[in-house]
Amino acid sequence: MQPETTAKVANNAITKGDVLAAARIAGIQAAKRTAELVPMCHPVLVGSVAVNFSIGDDYVEVEANVETVDRTGVEMEAMTACTIAALTVYDMCKSADRTMTISDVALWEKSGGRSGHWQRTSSDGRVG
């Protein structure tokens, strides 16, 4: 997004309201409804969802952490939370900046479930 838009988000100056609060709520709701949105995704009991943001000069980064004690992982719930939160940021800021893009949705780490622990490594070998 344009730096002016990022500054407006950081200063809570977007006319539609508190962008990050709305995006956080949207992400949490999306995580809980993932099985309704993604065909073939198992419904799981979501224990907790945390949606957090990092604001840079020209971006808002979204990160979700989802936990369950269910029989399967919650990767889809976490990525759905991030995506819907990002779409909410776009929706609330589009009157100020239609050039925004949403990109690079990726799983960074998971634990539990049938496949156990997994963590992404970057191209230079760093973890996470």
**56 occurs within a structural domain:** yes
Give the per-residue pLDDT at 122: 76
Tokens linked to 120? 């992404």
Least confident span in 29-38, 87-96, 103-112: 103-112
Q: What mean pLDDT is predicted for residues 73-88?
A: 96
Which residues are annotated as catalytic? Answer: 91
Q: List beta partners, residue 54.
A: 61
**How many Å apart are CA 67 and CA 10, to the nearest integer?**
28
**128 occurs within a structural domain:** no
Query: Model pTM?
Result: 0.91
**How many Å apart are CA 19 and CA 102, to the nearest integer?**
15
**57 occurs within a structural domain:** yes
Q: List beta partners, residue 118.
A: 110
Q: What mean pLDDT is predicted for residues 79-100?
A: 97
Domain with 50, as residue range(s), is 3-119
In 3-state terms, what secondary structure has residue 93?
helix
**45 occurs within a structural domain:** yes
CATH number where 15 lies: 3.30.70.640
**12 occurs within a structural domain:** yes
Give the per-residue pLDDT at 71: 78
The total number of structural domains that make up the chain: 1
